[in-house]
Amino acid sequence: MRHWLLVGMALMASLATAQEAVDWSPLVEKVMPAVVTIVSTDARDIVQGSGFIISSDGKIVTNFHVVAGKPTILARRSDGSFLVIKGILASDKANDLAILQAGGRNLPFVPLGDSDGVKVGEAVCVIGSPMLLEGTVSAGIISAVRELRDGRKLLQITAPISKGSSGSPVFNRKGEVIGVASFILSEGQNLNFAVPSNAVKTLLRRLGIAFSPLPPSPTLSLEERFEQAYQEAIRTVQEDHEALRSLRLKDIAVAMAKAGQFDRALQVAQKIENARSLSSALAEIAAAMAKAGQMEEAAQTFQLALQVAQKIEDALDRSWALGGIAEALAQAGQFDRALQVAQKIEGAWARSEALKEIAKAMAEAGQFDRALQVAQKIEVALVGFGALREIAVAMAKAGQLDRALRVAQKIEVESDRSWALREIAVAMAEAGQFDRALQVAQKIEVALVGFGALRDIAKAMAEAGQFDRALQVAQKIEDAGVRSWALKDIAVAMAKAGQFDLALQVARKIEDESDRSLALSGIAKAMAEAGQFDRAVEVAEMIDDLIKRLQALADIIVVKRGKGNQEAAAK
């Protein structure tokens, strides 16, 4: 008896020594981005567990009991960002397994190993979120492989499992998931059990889903990516109702024009059924042509936009369509013609708005006196104050801060005055006068506008390289939406400064999907401007919204084309 006791003690000592000898840190660092915390809720309670991503398109494995009957499910990643769960692809109550589908592209994932090949005594580690302690790592061994009466198997492990660890991946030394942590026996000490990974494979195979992780998207050229995004956007837009379809087709047409594909932009525009959206699309295409130096084509397209607008039967829609054309002309620097179009607008409000946009364009071109003259012709007082606000903003951006403050003081409407002060504060911040900018921001009467000022000041600080101070100012913003927007601006500024990894970290923390998409678009463009076109395309592909992805790819094409022209000129 003593002999077998000594043998057992020696065996346990050897296993303990083997366990202690394993350095899990390289593996943990590699796989942590694919481990998630699962939070599911219903009207009665909130359940928290763990899970892990098994494919680049967002398939997540967790325990059935973590998500069963819960209409709302979120997955929080190790960097603090969230993945929205679109639905439960598959479930196996007997094995306590569920396969979730999250939104996302090119996500980090971990491979499923062969659980039939595990050996008792093999070293393993578990990564999960016990008791809300995200990213907790525990190590142990396979202490037994248990076969149940119905033929199912369980892996008994010594790695500790606590409440919240349900659904955690159990890794072998190769970094393969060989089990899914499921439950403990509270009556026993360190009796923890995991469902074998092959049960996950069986569940996926039964539903016709390949259990092999999906590889990243195939390498395509920028032009191929753009074409792919265009075709996908055109295909999906056909599912929208008429009004929304016209607006989305307009956005697609403008993106095509931005990328220099004017013929195709016009072809898309021809599919727009709503006349007001059509005239607006044509006007923006014409403006893009003018910026590209195609003045004759721009003139013809502007004329076509006018013809469409003038045929609109509804007077109000006709007025707003003409206003959009006047604005596009002004943006193209054709101020006289813009004023001529504005004079044809029947509605006083639409005419006033058009004049405001013309005054703004003039002020942005440095024609402040002429802009003030146009502003005086505006009939609707509220719109006139808005024009003064835009002029004050342009003056502030041009460095004429004192003159900008004098114009702002003439604004009687509190909201417009607040907006003007906001932009003046931002101009001060952009000039490096951060303390003075914050002082002006404190004078802003409208709270939300004040938050916007702080957002833009934070952006200016970030663009000046003061990232820590920018983040501090952003955290002072009480409104969640504006704070999210501020983080987007900071992330883009970081990217423009070449801090791409830091920018992506901040972008992943943005909860608002739209702001996160804009941040990724800005980062992709900055990467392209730095010549990192492949990486820029990868970031653009992370954008879920099809049209925003198309627009981001268009920006990359513009940058690449510009660099190509520069290289050709240099030769």
Which residues are annotated as catalytic? 65, 96, 166
Closest CA to 124 of 153, 160, 166, 96: 160
Q: What is the DSSP letter of 434?
A: H
According to DSSP, residue 143 is labeled E
d(CA 535, CA 225): 13
Residue 19 CB neighbours (<10 A):
18
In angstroms, the CA 398 to CA 154 distance is 70
Please report which helix (H) or strand (E) contains residue 87, including its range: strand 82-92
Give the gyration radius of the chain's Cα atoms: 30
Number of CB atoms found within 10 A of residue 295's CB: 12
How many whole angstroms separate alpha carbon 95 and alpha carbon 142? 19
> How far apart are the C-alpha atoms of 130 and 161, rounded to whole Å?
7
User: In the numeric block, which tokens belong to residue 144?
Assistant: 């037994």
44: how many CB neighbours lie within 10 A of its CB? 7
Cβ atoms 284, 314 nearer than 8 A: no
Angle at 390 between CA 385 and CA 392, to 5 degrees: 90
User: What is the DSSP code string of 6-68?
Assistant: HHHHHHHHHHHHHHHH---HHHHHHHGGGEEEEEEE-SS-EEEEEEEE-STT-EEEE-HHHHT
* Cα 284 from Cα 243, distance rounded (Å): 19
Q: Which residue matches tokens 């061994």?
A: 141
SS3 (DSSP) at 212: coil
Structure tokens at 565: 């022209």
Q: Is the CA virtual torsion 498, 501, 505, 508 positive or negative? A: positive
